[in-house]
């Protein structure tokens, strides 16, 4: 028997572009198994030193008198465990000289959930005045945001300026005139950026962030900075970029990309007003958070070991992998095609732009899938645009380089061959 779903139910339950794509990736993985080049997901790499640390912590918890019991058998308060929140606050104060306490820290069931809470807290129908929107000042942005609005049309976004660098590179910059004009024409509830940006690996400069903060302040809304790949954790940043926080900024972190995605631990650094709102939302939706990541990480944050590991192992590991992946693509992509890679400034991805691509990136994705290579077509990362017919959105693909080098190199070869074929089409 089929039941009728509410409007909210329909928005959240009847599938989304990205949901279908993730199912597609999952099915392809399940059916093809060995030999598949999985360059599509946001899965972090398996780094031996990181794995060894988790194993050590689990052993310590098993050996301790009540460690395991506390981790598995207790409902912590919805705002998060106090030892973990204090460890995060102290770690950030020590690392960056910020002035904050655990009252400014909320834990959420993963970073993804933090965004669902924040977007629906700050935008949509308001008690007074017009409905508000979340403004993304630099599209393309993280695919995972695109279906998170409980109300329709929650998002508004602005295309970037594109700087072409040499023959084979490019970089996005915020088009501030367009962003400021858009903010003046609409009611805005928050401005949101990921830094480093998923999918492009762009890292917004200190001056871009300062100008966004000023804009957000001038319209009395928060600037949300999604730091899923940023400093100090996991610290996958290859350019100088100063982390920043004050009470006008909502900064999100996650334990996922350092290697604990299975623990679903998001961290939000915000004013006590926002922290208290998030705590209430967690209580309503899930009662409490998962304790596992918090329990594993708290002593490692207190001792500074986790931040050291990010600095000395995780960041150099991804930098090396990124360089190897770029070399493989530079070798394998066809010389007669006008391809460009986005500057590699952070995160786990290469963002490949194929100007004048004769098919759209979804078709290129399908062709690659038939050859056993999974990437993400670029279209999904462009949402909320006021004029959606922008050819660039059909000309990009996102390629993860977190897998082993052989997989990435094979993927590069096959991607190069398929690109040659589509550019040779009549």
Task: Evaluate whether 58 touches 296 at the Cβ level (below 8 Å).
Answer: yes
- Rank residues 182 and 197 by Cβ distance to ligand PLP and give the closer one: 197
How far is residue 68's CA from residue 62's CA, in Å, rounded to a whole number?
Answer: 6
The minimum distance between CB 337 and ligand PLP, in angstroms, equals: 28
Touching ligand PLP, residues 25-64 (CB under 6 A):
42
Q: Choose between 142 and 382: whose C-beta lies nearer to ligand PLP.
A: 142
- Complex with ligand PLP: residue 113 or 419, whichever CB lies closer: 113
Q: Does 172 bind ligand PLP (CB under 6 A)?
A: no
Residues in 177-196 at the binding interface with ligand PLP, rule: CB under 6 A: 194
Minimum distance between the CB of residue 346 and ligand PLP, rounded to whole angstroms?
A: 11
Task: Give SS3 for 64.
Answer: coil
70: left (phi over 0), alpha (psi -120 to 50) or beta: alpha
Contact status: 148 vs ligand PLP (CB under 6 A)? no
Q: Which span (89-97, 104-112, 235-243, 338-346) binds ligand PLP, by CB under 6 A?
A: 104-112
The stretch near ligand PLP (CB under 6 A) out of 5-13, 45-53, 254-262, 323-331 is 254-262
Question: Binding of ligand PLP at residue 256 (CB under 6 A)?
Answer: yes
Q: Which of 80, 124, 159, 266 binds ligand PLP (CB under 6 A)?
A: 266
Residues 118-147 as x/- pattern, contact with ligand PLP by CB under 6 A:
------------------------x-x---
The residue sitting closest to ligand PLP, measured at its beta carbon, is: 111
Place of tokens 């190069």: 416
Give residue 20's Cα distance to chain centre: 19
Angle among Cα 372, 375, 380 to the nearest 5 degrees reads 140
CB of 136 to ligand PLP, least distance (A): 12
Gap between the Cα atoms of 60 and 54, Å rounded:
10
Tokens 């759209």, located at residue? 360
Q: Are 367 and 425 in contact (CB under 8 A)?
A: no
| First-to-final CA distance of the chain | 50
Strand partners, 350: 399
Among 36, 112, 215, 353, binds ligand PLP (CB under 6 A): 112
Q: Does 226 bind ligand PLP (CB under 6 A)?
A: yes
Answer yes or no: are the C-beta atoms of 266 and 113 closer than 8 Å: yes
Coil, helix or strand at residue 394: helix
The residue range among 107-115, 117-125, 280-288, 369-377 that interacts with ligand PLP, by the rule CB under 6 A, is 107-115
Only one residue has tokens 């604990």, namely 260
157 near ligand PLP, rule: CB under 6 A = no
DSSP-assigned beta bridge partners for residue 228: none
Number of residues binding to ligand PLP, judged by CB under 6 A: 14
Instruction: Kindly list the distances between the CA atom of residue 4 and the CA atoms of 1, 7, 20, 419, in Å, as whole numbers in the listed order.
Output: 10, 10, 21, 45
Footprint of ligand PLP (CB under 6 A):
42, 110-112, 142, 144, 194, 198, 226, 228, 254, 256, 261, 266
């Amino acid at each position: 028997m089929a039941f009728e779903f509410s409007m909210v139910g329909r928005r959240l339950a009847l599938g989304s572009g990205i949901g279908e794509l993730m199912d597609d990736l999952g099915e392809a993985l399940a059916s093809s198994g060995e030999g598949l080049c999985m360059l599509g997901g946001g899965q972090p790499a398996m780094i031996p030193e990181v794995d060894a640390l988790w194993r050590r912590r689990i052993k310590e918890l098993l050996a301790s008198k009540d460690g395991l019991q506390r981790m598995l058998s207790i409902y912590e308060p919805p705002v998060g465990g106090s030892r973990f929140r204090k460890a995060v606050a102290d770690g950030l104060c020590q690392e960056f000289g910020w002035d904050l306490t655990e009252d400014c820290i909320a834990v959420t069931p993963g970073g993804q959930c933090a965004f669902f809470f924040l977007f629906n807290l700050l935008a949509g129908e308001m008690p007074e005045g017009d409905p508000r929107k979340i403004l993304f000042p630099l599209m393309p942005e993280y695919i995972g945001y695109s279906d998170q609005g409980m109300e329709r049309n929650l998002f508004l976004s602005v295309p970037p300026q594109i700087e072409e660098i040499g023959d084979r590179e490019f970089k996005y910059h915020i088009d501030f005139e367009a962003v400021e004009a858009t903010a003046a024409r609409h009611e805005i509830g928050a401005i949101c950026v990921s830094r480093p940006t998923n999918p492009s690996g762009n890292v917004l400069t200190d001056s871009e962030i300062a100008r966004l903060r000023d804009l957000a302040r001038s319209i009395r809304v928060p600037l949300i900075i999604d730091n899923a790949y940023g400093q100090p954790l996991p610290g996958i940043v290859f350019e100088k970029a100063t982390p920043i926080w004050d009470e006008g900024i909502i900064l999100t972190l996650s334990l996922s990309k350092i290697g604990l995605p299975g623990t679903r631990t998001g961290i939000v650094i915000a004013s006590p007003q926002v922290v208290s709102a998030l705590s209430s939302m967690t209580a309503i939706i899930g009662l409490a958070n998962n304790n596992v990541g918090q329990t594993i990480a708290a002593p490692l944050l207190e001792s500074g070991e986790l931040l050291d590991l990010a600095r000395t192992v995780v960041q150099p590991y991804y930098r090396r992998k990124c360089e190897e992946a770029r070399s493989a693509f530079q070798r394998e992509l066809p010389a007669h095609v006008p391809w460009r890679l986005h500057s590699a400034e952070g995160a786990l991805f290469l963002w490949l732009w194929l100007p004048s691509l004769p098919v759209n990136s979804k078709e290129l994705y399908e062709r690659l899938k038939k050859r056993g290579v999974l990437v993400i077509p670029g279209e999904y990362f462009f949402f909320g645009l006021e004029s959606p017919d922008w050819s660039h959105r059909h000309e990009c693909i996102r390629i993860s380089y977190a897998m082993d080098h052989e997989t990435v190199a094979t993927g590069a070869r096959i991607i190069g061959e398929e690109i040659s074929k589509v550019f040779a089409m009549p």
